[in-house]
């Protein structure tokens, strides 16, 4: 498969789906989102899946999707769940499938965006800010190592971010 796809990685709430949708429209490419695809195929929300099947089953579905996309994905902007690059196999697959862009956002901005969110099971805890901080510490180096390009989203609009990527 030719590497003609663009993949967005990064922490929850960085705008991967919004940026991805706008980027795909601007470049006349298709748009896909791994979380949406998993929800569609399993007929349940990510929260329900974490609760009834456990995180490991979700992670396995993520890897299986990438194995499939390695064969099939074409001219597509792919937005991925924030934990996608945590498995080493996924990192290799992502890099084979497309040009990988890490959308990077600060802990504070992430917290402001997600503090009232109820759809992210990993943040349904006593101390979401602490959880974000802990996860970012572990994940940012992984995102950076996986990416072909790192883009600080700062307080830029979706359109500005898309223009920068292009």
Closest separation in Å from C-beta 108 to ligand S3P: 17
Which residue is at the shortest CB distance from ligand S3P? 81
Per CB under 6 A, does 128 bind ligand S3P?
Answer: no
Distance CA 87, CA 65 (A): 13
Per CB under 6 A, does 81 bind ligand S3P?
Answer: yes
Per CB under 6 A, does 35 bind ligand S3P?
Answer: yes
Contacts of 65 (CB under 8 A, 6+ apart): 34, 37, 38
Strands 149-152 vs 76-79: parallel, antiparallel or unpaired? unpaired
Size of the site for ligand S3P (CB under 6 A): 10
Instruction: Give the DSSP H/E element, type plus range, for residue 68.
Output: helix 55-72
Distance CA 91, CA 85 (A): 5
- 124: tokens are 């349904």
Closest to ligand S3P by CB, 1 or 54: 54
Per CB under 6 A, does 49 bind ligand S3P?
Answer: no
Instruction: Give the DSSP H/E element, type plus range, for residue 34.
Output: helix 34-42
- Given a contact cutoff of 8 angstroms between Cβ atoms, the answer to whether 101 and 24 are in contact is no
Listed ranges 22-30, 63-71, 77-85, 144-152: which one lies at the site for ligand S3P (CB under 6 A): 77-85
Per CB under 6 A, does 85 bind ligand S3P?
Answer: no
Per CB under 6 A, does 83 bind ligand S3P?
Answer: yes
Task: Kindly list the residues in this chain that would bind ligand S3P in the complex (CB under 6 A).
Answer: 12, 16, 35, 46, 81-83, 120-122
């Amino acid at each position: 498969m030719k590497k003609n796809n663009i993949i967005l990685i990064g922490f929850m709430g960085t705008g991967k789906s919004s940026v991805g949708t706008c980027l795909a429209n601007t470049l006349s490419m298709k748009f896909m989102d791994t979380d949406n695809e998993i929800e569609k195929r399993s007929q349940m929300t990510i929260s329900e899946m974490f609760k009834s099947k456990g995180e490991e089953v979700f992670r396995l579905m993520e890897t299986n999707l990438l194995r499939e996309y390695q064969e099939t994905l074409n001219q597509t902007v792919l937005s991925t769940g924030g934990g996608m690059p945590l498995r080493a196999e996924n990192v290799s697959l992502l890099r084979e499938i497309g040009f990988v862009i890490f959308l990077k956002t600060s802990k504070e901005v992430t917290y402001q965006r997600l503090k009232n969110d109820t759809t992210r099971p990993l943040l349904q805890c006593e101390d979401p800010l602490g959880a974000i901080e802990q996860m970012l510490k572990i994940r940012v180096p992984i995102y950076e190592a996986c990416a072909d390009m790192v883009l600080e989203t700062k307080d830029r609009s979706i359109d500005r971010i898309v223009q920068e990527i292009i």
